[in-house]
Structure 1
């Protein structure tokens, strides 16, 4: 198999309006397709920012989702690369969104190859924002 790139990540939510607002108004994704009543779901929506796509969907009708936890198997967070970590952080704060994860009492902290911060989306997804590609 010759994988070329990541096509999208799918995020389920029970707080659709809040999650959609977070990804569009706070993180700057654009709605490219919103489909109501999609395969027993109230909504299935495609969001895009440059080459990154998120499929945001509600749970199937009459289904309750488990609350997000970093103790679940599978993906733990999504990480986005930005040019300037401080500008990205201030942009989110200026929109009065304050659900940041602290490390050693700090919202922005140094890692081996740069800086990062983590913000929690309304449905619980942990979003990591970093300024360096290194691992």
Structure 2
């Protein structure tokens, strides 16, 4: 049978309200469901954009998360495709979000001839925004 598609990514956060605001207001995800007191967690929330979902979770009671690092093994960032990188960068700036990764003094930069930028979510997840498909 095999995999049909990527269904979701689960992101854990101890900054729930800030992360929820980031994924909904800044990136435009819609809340599908928000469950309080979910298996010893304050919240477990499903967010959706197109066919892609994020499961946003708070830590279990009395647990503390390790901080995210690009030096960890496993997933390093989540990439999203937009119509126009420059317009998306301006849109996010207008919304007042400023936690962008700077490379060689620039926020929007070229990699292999393609423009992109990276933004850091409140819980530390690195988000790549690009307008060219591979």
Structure 1 range deviating more: 35-44 or 112-121: 112-121
TM-score, normalised on structure 1? 0.97
Aligned pairs for 1:56-67 (under 5 A) are 56-67=56-67
State the number of aligned residues. Answer: 134
Report what 2:10 is aligned to. 10
TM-score, normalised on structure 2? 0.97
Structure 1 range deviating more: 106-115 or 76-85: 106-115
CA offset at residue 113 of structure 1? 4.6
Report what 1:42 is aligned to. 42
CA offset at residue 48 of structure 1? 0.4
Structure 2 unaligned regions, length at least 5: none
Q: Structure 1 CA distance, aligned partners of 2:133 and 2:112?
A: 11
Cα deviation, 1:46-87, whole Å, max 9, x if unaligned, reads 000111100000011110000111111111100001111111
Q: Structure 1 CA distance, aligned partners of 2:50 and 2:35?
A: 21
Q: Structure 1 CA distance, aligned partners of 2:120 and 2:19?
A: 10
User: Structure 1 residue runs of 4+, over 4 Å off?
Assistant: none
Tell me if structure 2 keeps the 8 A contact 1:115–1:130.
Answer: yes
RMSD, aligned CA: 0.8
Q: Structure 2 CA distance, aligned partners of 1:120 and 1:68?
A: 11
Cα deviation, 1:88-116, whole Å, max 9, x if unaligned, reads 11110000100000111100001225210
Q: Structure 2 CA distance, aligned partners of 1:130 and 1:55?
A: 22
Report what 2:73 is aligned to. 73
Structure 1 unaligned regions, length at least 5: none
